[in-house]
Structure 1
Amino acid sequence: MLEKLKKFFAEVKSEAKKTTWPNREELLASTGVVLFILAVSAVYLFLVDLLFSGTLGALLQKF
């Protein structure tokens, strides 16, 4: 049991050494893309919510 655990952590350490991290430019570019998609999604959901709440309000006033 202890040997399996040691082997597991040795393999984790080996795989972690293979990890490559983005440089500053790549990080900023990726962050910009994420923020842009977040903003577009927020505006889209706001408009859909506005449409549904207006439609529901109009239906409730009719009945």
Structure 2
Amino acid sequence: MENLTPGLLVWKLKPVTGGLRTVPVLLPQLKGQPEAIADSRQILHSIESRFPSPPLLPADERKAS
């Protein structure tokens, strides 16, 4: 994990994320997955889909998406 200051954030993230400028960003590097996932909730869903136990989100949150 790398802590980025606002100026470096844009400079380092834009090229590898296709223009995303927010953190956190997950770069899964998995076939069939997006190249970059920027929304915290979507990051958690992506992680849970591959590693369901222990759950990262409450049960009702998982059903809502």
TM-score, normalised by the number of residues in structure 1: 0.23
Provide TM-score, normalisation by structure 2: 0.22
